[in-house]
């Protein structure tokens, strides 16, 4: 069975600085998708970024980028120029490319605090 | 924009009560999901549905059931609520398998 591990329960960063959130996963599959979701306090969870395992190029969305290391089964999220609005719970998630449904497997989450 | 709504943000129920959590999406999505979110455990899938009246168990279905009579609505039912079901419940939907999941705001359920 696949598992996702986020080893940092809490992180903090100064406004305008850069922070990296870690995620590792375990799978025997070769084709899958990885995601980072953001859950702001009392607000809905939204997708930040996704990565297809077959793509070697790391995904980027504005200030958010990932470092995808397939052999190491590592998928970290880098937030550049951190803003107060980046404060949230961040979840790493895995989805198999096989199978008939859209099941996501989540890590435990990392709570990010942004200090002015 | 996709909108996923849940009937209550906060709910307090007593042990043994039957509890209904409702989720509605407005984008004609085929797939709908119920997750439970607990500190230190992330989100865990309870049940999902890929079509009207169709359902599949997720990782933690014990103590829960679901109903999907209409495409836009997916209900989570706690037949006899217990204190260990105190949690945050999140609903999600996606167009089809492989498409992005959109989440509702969550229902924080407390069972006393």
Chain A residues close to B58, C-beta within 8 Å:
103
CB-based contact, B4 to chain A, within 8 Å: yes
3-class DSSP assignment, residue B10: strand
**Which residues of A sit within 8 Å Cβ distance of B?**
4, 6, 9, 37, 42-47, 50, 91, 93, 97, 100-104, 106-109
C-beta separation of B46 from B76 below 8 A: yes
CA distance A111 to chain B (A): 11
From B49, which residue of chain A is nearest by alpha-carbon distance?
Answer: A101
Distance, in Å, from the CA atom of A30 to the CA atom of A26, rounded to the nearest integer, reads 11
**pLDDT tens, residue by residue, A17-71:** 999 999 999 999 988 999 999 999 988 999 999 999 999 899 999 999 999 999 9
Residues 6+ away with beta carbon under 8 Å from A28: none
C-beta separation of B78 from B66 below 8 A: no
Task: Supply the pLDDT for residue A56.
Answer: 86
Residues 6+ away with beta carbon under 8 Å from A62: none
CB-based contact, B23 to chain A, within 8 Å: no
With vertex at residue B76, the alpha carbon angle to CA B75 and CA B82, rounded to the nearest 5 degrees, is 155
CA distance B24 to chain A (A): 14
Q: What is the sign, positive or negative, of the torsion defined by CA atoms of B20, B41, B98, B92?
A: positive
From B40, which residue of chain A is nearest by alpha-carbon distance?
Answer: A108
3-class DSSP assignment, residue A91: strand
Task: Supply the pLDDT for residue A99.
Answer: 67
**pLDDT tens, residue by residue, B17-45:** 999 999 999 999 999 999 999 999 999 99
Best A6, A48, A102 member to test B by mutation, with max B CBs in 10 Å, is: A102
Q: What is the sign, positive or negative, of the torsion defined by CA atoms of A40, A9, A92, B44?
A: negative
**pLDDT tens, residue by residue, A85-111:** 999 999 999 998 876 566 899 999 999
Q: What DSSP letter does each residue of B22-43 carry, written as one string?
A: EEEESS--SEEEEEEEETTTEE
Chain A residues close to B54, C-beta within 8 Å:
none
Task: Supply the pLDDT for residue B72.
Answer: 96
Cα-based distances in Å from A111 to A58, A79, A107, B7, B90 = 23, 13, 12, 27, 18
Q: Do B40 and A9 touch (CB under 8 A)?
A: yes
Residues 6+ away with beta carbon under 8 Å from B94: A102, B29, B30, B31, B33, B100, B101, B102
Lowest mean pLDDT among A42-46, A111-115, B6-10, B70-74: A42-46
Average pLDDT over residues B50-75: 95
Chain B residues close to A10, C-beta within 8 Å:
none
């Amino acid at each position: 069975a696949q598992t996702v591990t986020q080893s940092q329960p809490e992180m903090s960063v100064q406004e305008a600085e850069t922070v990296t959130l870690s995620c590792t996963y375990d799978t025997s599959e070769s084709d899958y998708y990885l995601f980072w979701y953001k859950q702001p306090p009392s607000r809905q969870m939204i997708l930040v970024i996704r990565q297809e395992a077959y793509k070697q190029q790391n995904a980027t969305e504005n200030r958010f980028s990932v470092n995808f290391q397939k052999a190491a089964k590592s998928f970290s999220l880098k937030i550049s120029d951190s803003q107060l609005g980046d404060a949230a719970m961040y979840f790493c998630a895995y989805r198999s490319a096989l199978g008939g449904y859209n099941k996501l497997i989540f890590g435990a989450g990392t709570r990010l605090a942004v200090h002015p | 924009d996709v909108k996923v709504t849940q009937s209550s943000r906060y709910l307090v129920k007593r042990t043994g009560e039957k509890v209904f959590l409702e989720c509605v999406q407005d984008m004609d999505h085929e797939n709908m999901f119920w997750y439970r979110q607990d500190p230190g455990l992330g989100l865990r899938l309870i049940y999902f549905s890929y079509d009207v009246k169709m359902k599949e168990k997720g990782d933690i279905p014990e103590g829960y059931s679901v109903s999907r009579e209409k495409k836009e609505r997916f209900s989570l039912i706690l037949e006899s609520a217990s204190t260990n079901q105190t949690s945050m419940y999140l609903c999600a939907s996606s167009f089809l398998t492989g498409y992005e999941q959109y989440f509702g705001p969550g229902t924080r359920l407390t069972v006393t």
